[in-house]
Amino acid sequence: MIDNARLDLLFAEYGRAIAIALVVIGTLALVASGWAVGNPSTTTEAQYADEHVSTELHTGAEVVQDGTLWNEGEYLENNDVYMLNDSPELTLEPETTVQSEREDVSVDDTEVTHELEARYEATRDGDVFWNESHTVLEESPTVEDGVATSSETIDVESYRDRQYELEQELGGVGDVDLEFVLSVAYDTGGAEGTDEATTPFEVTSTAYWLGDSASVSETATQQTGTEETTESRSLALIAGLSLLGTISLAGAVGIVRRTPVDETVARRKIHERRYAEWISKGSIPMWIGNYHVSLDTLEDVVDVAIDTNERVVHDTQRGLFAVVNDGVVYYYSERGQWEETAWPEMNLSEHGDSSGDGDEPAITPEEMDLEGIDEFSDLDEEGFEDDEDVWKQL
C-alpha cells in the first residue's frame, strides 16, 4: 500500500465520504455498463419513394390526298408542320406517364383527367385585353401499364376561320393569337396535383403547326415507411464504464482497508517530511536542560530551531521532538509533558497479561537479559540506599 502522509490525512478527514462516493460511482458505472450491453442502440430511418408524373401533347394527321410530299392514307405523327390541304384535320393526344418507386401502390390505380382548351386572345403591345376559350377535350382515361392517353380530332380550317373573324372585328386595333392550354389532374394514391402547359397554335392559309412542345412533368417524394437498425453500443463506452466501475470499487475497498487513520499522526508525518532538513534523529537524555518548554505543534519546534539556528532532534523511543538552546529545551511530544516521555513506549501484549492467574511472571529476567548484571546487587556504604535517594541524586 502506498505510504503517503497526505493521503492518510485526506482519508482521515474525508475517507468515509470518499469511500461512499466511490461505491456509488462504481455501482452506477457497472449498472450503466450492463444497461449498455443489454440495450443496443436503435436507429429509425424514414424510407422514401419517388413518384414521377409527366404529360406531353402529341399530334397526328392523316394525309387525305396524293401529292408530291405524301401519299393518301399516310399518318403523320408529331410533325413540326402540317400542310393544310393535305391534312385538314389534326388529332391532339395528351399522354400521361406515371412512374413510381413504391411497391405498395400500383401505377395503374392512378386517376388522371385531361382537359384541353383552345384560347383566343386579343393583344395590343403585348398586353391581353380580350380572350375567348372553349373546351376541345375533357376526358379521364384509364391508366394501363402506367400510361393514360386521350384523343380528339379538330377541323383546323374552323379555327383559322374563327381567328380571321375576330381579326376583322378588331379592325387592326390589335392582334388575335390562338393557343392550346393543356391541364392535367392526377391522383396516384400517395400524391396528387394539377399541371398546366400552353403552346401557340399557328395557322396560315397553307399550313399549321404548334409553336412549342406542350409538356409538363412533376416528381413527388413520399414517405413509404420506416426502417429500424439495431447496433451494439460502442465497445469503448462499455469498456470505459466497466473500467471506471471496477477502479472505483477497488478504490473504495482500498480506503476502507487503510482506515481508520489517526489524523494527528498523519499531520505529524506531513510536518516531518516538510521540515526534514531541520530534523535529525537521535537520543535526548532525560536530564538535559535546566528548563523545559512544551510547545503545541512540531511546527512551533521547527520555528524555534530556525530562529536559534539549531536543529530539531527526534527521539523516536520517547516520541519527542526537541531543540536545546542555552539550557532551555523546547519540545513537542504527543505523549504529553516532559516527565511522561521519560520511558519509551513498550508493547507488552505479546508477553501476555501480567495480571493473569499463572505463576510465571509476564517478563522473565532471561527475557530482559538481566542475568549476570550485578551493578545493583552489592552496594557499598557510599552507594544509594533506596529508590528515593536515587531520584534525589537525579
Q: Does residue 158 have a pLDDT over 90?
A: yes
Distance CA 278, CA 249 (A): 41
Grid coordinates representing 135?
Answer: 373546351
* Amino acid in position 226: T
Closest CA to 192 of 68, 262, 105, 277: 105
pLDDT in tens, 95-143: 999 988 776 677 788 899 999 999 999 999 889 999 999 999 999 999 9
Q: Are 82 and 90 within 8 A, CB to CB?
A: yes
Give the global pTM. 0.51
Q: Are 152 and 182 within 8 A, CB to CB?
A: no
Q: 7-21, 144-158, 199-213, 339-353: lowest mean pLDDT where?
A: 339-353
Percent of the chain's residues with pLDDT above 90: 34
Q: Are 351 and 367 within 8 A, CB to CB?
A: yes
Distance CA 373, CA 379 (A): 13
CB atoms within 10 A of CB 181: 16
CB atoms within 10 A of CB 71: 10
Q: Are 136 and 88 within 8 A, CB to CB?
A: no
* Amino acid in position 43: T
Q: What is the mean pLDDT of the chain?
A: 80
Residue 8 pLDDT level (bands cut at 50, 70, 90): low
Q: What is the mean pLDDT of residues 181-198?
A: 89
**If you count DSSP H runs as helices and E runs as strands, how many of each does the chain have, helices first?**
6, 17
Q: 7-11, 26-30, 170-174, 352-356: lowest mean pLDDT where?
A: 352-356
Across the beta sheet with 82-83, what order do the strands follow?
A: 82-83, 207-210, 192-203, 175-187, 111-124, 127-139
Residue length, the chain? 394
pLDDT in tens, 216-237: 888 877 777 777 788 777 788 8
Question: 186 - beta bridge partners?
Answer: 112, 193
Q: 41-55, 57-71, 281-295: lowest mean pLDDT where?
A: 41-55
Percent of the chain's residues with pLDDT above 70: 78
Distance CA 36, CA 31 (A): 9
Cα distances (angstroms) measured from residue 210 to each of 80, 151, 162, 271: 7, 16, 17, 106
Q: Which residue has better confidence, 39 or 76?
A: 76
What integer pLDDT is reported at residue 368 of this predicted model? 45
Q: 128-132, 171-175, 384-388: lowest mean pLDDT where?
A: 384-388
Q: Give the highest mean pLDDT range of 219-223, 364-368, 387-391.
A: 219-223
Q: Which helix (H) or strand (E) segment is 388 a member of?
A: helix 387-393
